[in-house]
Structure 1
Amino acid sequence: MHFDHWLATIPAVGVYLVVAGVVGLESLGIPLPGELVLITAALLAGRHTGVDPLWVGGCAGAGAIAGDSAGYAIGRRYGRRLFERAGRRFPRHFGPEPLGRAERLFARRGAWAVFLGRFVALLRILAGPLAGSLRMRYPAFLAANALGGIVWAGAMTLLGYYLGVAAERWLSGFSWLALLLAVLTGGATVVLLRRTR
């Protein structure tokens, strides 16, 4: 079975659930390829497979907001111990000095750190647990988290969707060009082989 046909057999609801689940788990703090899954689903929506880009973006935004909120709750309850344990194993990233810088950053620019963290892979994973562990006020966190999740999901969905539409248009024209080039090359090769005999 060709890959395109296999992708077309996936029900749209399954695509939406995978997007929401993977983005949500990544936002919770589990290192998964949430952005890659979102862009792939948006590309799939651009191929007219019954997948709606609005639903893709909406599910990604909902997954991001829910995952970050759950990560915030975990960070608030267990974050200090989790970061101390991670600091012993990875002192360069989670030791006292990096955590001290993060605390100062969150104290000065907590909401901006959460919002902009949505667009940076490592911060996307750590923003929720780190904000909870540093005792950022939840209403400020939720506002920045929701706005960042919606803007990020919308931007990545639009990017993937329109890249998919453009690529399909370009590749469909390219396939005819490639076929023509192959026929001309094959014909030229036959002519050259006959002349060399």
Structure 2
Amino acid sequence: MTVDDMLQVIPPVAVYLLTGVVIGLESLGIPLPGEIVLVSAALLSSRPEIDVDPLWVGVAATTGAVVGDSIGYAIGRRYGMPLFGWLGRRFPKHFGPGHVAVAERLFGRWGMGAVFFGRFVALLRIFAGPLAGALRMPYQKFLVANVAGGICWAGGTTAGVYYLGLVAETWLKRFSWVGLVVAVLAGLGVTLWMRRRTRSMVREAGGAAVVDGDGTAPGNVTP
């Protein structure tokens, strides 16, 4: 069985559910590859022989983003900043003091804009909901930025990747998988650059983190 044959037997509902669940869990604060799943689903929808609708991919991704962020907001509001100290001790690679410092600085500077644009940045995607709740951002403002960011990110990514796939199919015909590989490599290049930039910001923030009077980082308390 070829790759094309295997792709054609994937139930469309499974693609929509997987997209929504992964993005929802990532938005809740669990570090998962939501963007990779969304791009893959959008590419599948661009293949005419595969019965995956790009509209429903976008709807599933948007729903997952909004619901996941809202749950993350509720968790952050319940436990406050000590939650990030607890997470940092157990998952320092994703929730270390430097990561929290960068996210908190961006929230302090941009407010609702950090929620909206955070949907497009891997670091802020897992922080936006819980951190907005912990910082007591009014839920109405959070919801507006959350929904707008989810629609623009999910809808824009799905549409862009879908039409890129159509162009590859039209121009490359039998070699359409070459277009897929090129698109994936380009996406990986941008992702790696963003991650390198994020790590640099995290290192800078970690080195400049303010230490409180008892010698522990702020918020480093078990919830």
SS in 2 for 1:85: helix
Give the partner amino acid of 1:40: S
Alpha-carbon spacing, 1:121–1:100, altered in 2? closer, same or farther (3 Å): closer
Structure 1 residue ranges without an equivalent (≥5): 176-197
Q: 1:91 to 1:37 in 2, by over 3 A?
A: closer
More helix per residue: 1
Aligned length: 174
> In the alignment, does 2:46 pair up with 1:46?
yes
Bigger drift between 127-136 and 166-175 goes to 166-175
User: d(CA) in 2 for partners of 1:93 and 1:174?
Assistant: 42
Matches within 5 A, 1:45-194: 45-48=45-48, 49-88=50-89, 90=92, 94-95=96-97, 99=100, 102-103=103-104, 105-172=106-173, 174=175
Cα separation, partners in 2 of 1:37 and 1:105, compared to 1, 3 Å: closer
Unaligned runs of 5+ in 2: 177-223
Cα root mean square deviation, aligned:
2.2
TM-score (norm. length: structure 1): 0.80
Cα deviation, residue 163, structure 1? 1.5
What's the TM-score, normalizing by structure 2?
Answer: 0.71
Q: Is the 8 A contact 1:118 1:124 kept in 2?
A: yes
Query: For 1:116, what is the secondary structure of its paired residue?
Result: helix
1:195 equivalent in structure 2: none
Could you say if the C-alpha distance between residues 154 and 132 of structure 1 is closer, same or farther in structure 2, counting changes exceeding 3 Å? same
Q: Bigger radius of gyration, 1 or 2?
A: 1
Q: Percent same amino acid among aligned pairs?
A: 61
2:3 equivalent in structure 1? 3
Counterpart of 2:219 in structure 1 is: none
8 A Cα contact 1:106 1:136, kept in partner: no
Moved more, 107-116 or 23-32: 107-116
Q: Deviations over 1:26-70 (max 9, x none)?
A: 111111111111111111111021111111101100100000001
